[in-house]
Homo-oligomer: A and B are copies of this chain.
Amino acid sequence: LIVKERLVIFGENKIMGLNCVLLGAGNVASHLGPALKAAGYKILQVYSRTDSSARQLALKLEAVPLVRAGDVISDADFYFVALSDSAFAEVLPQIKIKNGLLVHCSGSQPLSVLSPFATRTGVLYPLQTFSKSREVDFFQVPLLIEADSEKNLKALEIVAGKLSETVHVADSGQRQALHVAAVFACNFVNHLYVLAEGILNEKQLPFSLIKPLIQETAGKALEIGPINAQTGPAVRYDLNILEKHLEYLSRNPELQELYKTFSKGIFELSKNKR
């Protein structure tokens, strides 16, 4: 039944070159998949080594769920690899691709990592933080693309242009820089939010109190640039406060260390600016 359904769907869309396979059912796949579907692409199969993840996303995309990479069809038009980087080496060798474009979505893998597995390769890297539970307007997500030929880049540009209003060509080195920068501006920033929440909760204060501050911090940096946006005791080199804060954090050496590192960094930068 599954095989028949797959072939029927495949047959219908073949001419349009819209048939996709989605490898992965994690945070990126669960946003990329629906975006592709909304743009008119047909997701034939969704692979994940976790059965429930494959089923859940496949159901949403009207695709066939797979837990064995060996079951991936060989003649789709696009194969999107939205796996964690550590799963590349395990999954990709199991897939046979005839003529489809093999595209990964990773910030830190070079394009060349795909060349043993397909003759046509590309990258489509969505620069955003995705969680399964949270909706994101994919059309506003910057997409960085790269391909192994002009022709394949053109094909990828057409797909990307249907998914997002912001599409840039970036080589593997630039994408790496973007990914590292994103880790600083997103994952590390979020960790600072976590630490701030801990400091507040210790005194029975709700995280919601710093909500306007968090919004304004982001909004101001985006508008006037982060270098011009800096405020606080370190940029003023207000020793009175810096010492009080270090004393306050003395029960938590890790936070104290972080406080010293950041204050030093902020002060050094502001000094150079003056």
Interface positions of A (Cβ within 8 A of B): 27, 84-86, 108, 127-131, 133-134, 136, 140-142, 166, 168, 170, 173-174, 176-197, 199-200, 202-205, 207, 209-218, 220-236, 238-241, 244-245, 248-249, 254, 257-259, 261-262, 265-266, 269
Shortest Cβ gap from A188 to chain B (Å): 5
Taking the nearest CB of chain B, how far is it from the CB of A15, in angstroms?
35
Q: So how many copies of this chain end up in the complex?
A: 2
Closest-CB distance, A256 to chain B (whole angstroms): 11
**List of B residues within 8 angstroms of A257 by Cβ:** 261
Chain B nearest CB, measured from A88 CB (Å): 8
- Cα–Cα, bound, A116→B89 (Å): 70
The 6 closest A-B pairs by CB, nearest first: A187-B232, A193-B226, A185-B196, A177-B203, A181-B196, A181-B199
A189 to B194, CA, bound (A): 12
The distance in angstroms between the C-alpha atoms of A197 and B252, with both chains bound, is 30
Given contacts A134-B224, A200-B181, A217-B129, contact A174 B212 (CB under 8 A): no
Given the complex of chains A and B, what is the CA–CA distance between A27 and B205 in angstroms? Answer: 25
The listed residue (B222, B238, B239) touching A214 by CB distance below 8 A is B222
